[in-house]
């Protein structure tokens, strides 16, 4: 019962925050409010109050750079090909310092959501102000959550190796200087940068309607280790198909538009109870197809969603196999040896 109450209150607060953010910074920036909230929630498990000014400046810089790069990337697909690669490979490398994607996902989605929700003029100015305000809000919450200052964990915004072996670093000479690059993180950064940027370029080149679903899929399924890519790919396909079937059945019996719109919220609410990736994808699929079907044919939206997810999954698996594939044994062997 406590979980139901807490999840319900949290969901209501999330909706309130998104609406408030949209009211202040414009409805075209609603998705920015969502990603800022995701980043805020993820960062709550870390203590950034040890260096508040430095971390505020880092968050602000990351937000503004992402906002500016996505603005120019959305204007020209060729410029976007370069900028998207640089941005996403950088996010992939520096935010995977703990050899996981906990920080990569929120900041990567933050970038992609802005890329596929471009704004200009006054809305762009509001977006930049909103990004600064978002960084400020994150630090305020940090001081509330960590007011007793008892966390001694290393800060995630100060990327660095954590319990890693020197043998995993390889020297790379760039612009006349030599850098030590972590082999697993470096390979992951190149994969996620290449496949996401290339997919975004293809989507823009062919002007694919809802093609962003392919981009989101390749980003989500590109993993540090091949085993994770394979398992998550299976779960994403399973969740997408199950979620699609649920929407088709519900929309077959429910014809009222207002009730159909409620399904979007229900999917988002049920997502708070999910404990694995497959179930999360079921809820996400329900919300996405339901929202798309409100303005398009339901079957059309369902087929499009499944088709794009399958294409994105195939691309992610192909790139994982062909480009700098890394497996757990590449790390576990060194672990045993040490």
pLDDT digits (tens, 9 = 90+) for 123-133: 999 999 999 99
pLDDT digits (tens, 9 = 90+) for 231-248: 999 999 999 999 999 999
Residue 108 in contact with residue 92, Cβ under 8 Å? yes
C-alpha to C-alpha distance for 142 and 155, rounded to whole angstroms = 12
Residue 277 has pLDDT above 90, yes or no: yes
- pTM of this prediction? 0.91
In this predicted structure, the answer to whether residue 335 has a pLDDT above a threshold of 60 is no
Phi, psi for residue 327 in degrees, rounded to 5 = -120, 165
**Running DSSP on this structure, what letter comes out for residue 171?**
E
Q: Which three-class secondary structure state does DSSP give residue 177?
A: strand
Confirm if 224 and 185 have CB atoms less than 8 A apart.
yes
Cα–Cα dist 278/172, whole Å:
38
User: What is the C-alpha to C-alpha distance for residues 264 and 286, in angstroms, rounded to an integer?
Assistant: 7
Instruction: Tally Cβ neighbours within 10 Å of residue 280.
Output: 19
Count of beta carbons in the 10 Å neighbourhood of residue 323: 13
Indicate the pairing of strand 169-174 with strand 177-182: antiparallel
| pLDDT score for 128 | 97
In angstroms, the CA 99 to CA 218 distance is 19
Report the distance separating Cα 284 and Cα 184, nearest Å: 30
Q: Is 209 helix (H, G, I), strand (E, B) or coil?
A: coil
pLDDT value at residue 165: 55
The predicted model gives 304-325 an average pLDDT of 95
pLDDT tens by residue, 195-215: 999 999 999 999 998 999 999
| Per-residue pLDDT tens over the stretch 281-293 | 999 999 999 999 8
Angle at 112 between CA 107 and CA 133, to 5 degrees: 55
Q: Nearest 10 degrees: CA dihedral of 66, 72, 78, 84?
A: 0
d(CA 288, CA 300): 13
């Amino acid at each position: 019962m406590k979980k139901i109450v807490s999840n319900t209150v949290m969901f209501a607060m999330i909706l309130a925050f998104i609406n408030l953010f949209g009211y202040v910074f414009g409805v075209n920036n609603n998705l920015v409010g969502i990603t800022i909230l995701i980043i805020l929630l993820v960062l709550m498990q870390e203590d950034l109050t040890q260096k508040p000014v430095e971390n505020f400046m880092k968050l602000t810089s990351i937000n503004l750079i992402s906002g500016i790069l996505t603005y120019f990337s959305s204007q020209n697909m060729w410029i976007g090909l370069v900028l998207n690669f640089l941005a996403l490979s950088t996010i992939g490398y520096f935010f995977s310092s703990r050899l996981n994607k906990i920080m990569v996902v929120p900041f990567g989605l933050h970038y992609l959501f802005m890329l596929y929700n471009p704004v200009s003029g006054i809305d762009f100015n509001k977006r930049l102000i909103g990004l600064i305000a978002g960084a400020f809000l994150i630090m305020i919450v940090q001081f509330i959550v960590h007011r007793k200052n008892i966390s001694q964990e290393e800060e995630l915004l100060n990327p660095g190796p954590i319990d890693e072996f020197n043998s995993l670093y390889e020297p790379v000479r760039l612009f006349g200087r030599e850098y030590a690059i972590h082999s697993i993180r470096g390979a992951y950064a190149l994969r996620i940068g290449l496949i996401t940027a290339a997919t975004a370029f293809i989507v823009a080149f062919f002007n694919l309607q809802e093609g962003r679903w392919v981009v989101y899929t390749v980003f989500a399924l590109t993993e540090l280790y091949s085993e994770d890519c394979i398992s998550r790919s299976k779960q994403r396909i399973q969740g997408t198909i199950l979620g699609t079937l649920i929407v088709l059945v519900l929309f077959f019996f429910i014809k009222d538009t207002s009730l159909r719109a409620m399904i979007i919220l229900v999917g988002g609410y049920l997502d708070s109870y999910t404990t694995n990736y497959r179930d999360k994808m079921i809820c996400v699929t329900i919300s996405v197809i339901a929202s798309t079907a409100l303005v398009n044919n339901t079957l059309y939206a369902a087929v499009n969603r499944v088709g794009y997810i399958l294409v994105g999954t195939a691309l992610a698996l192909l790139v994982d196999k062909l480009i700098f594939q890394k497996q757990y044994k590449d790390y576990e062997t060194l672990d045993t040896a040490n």
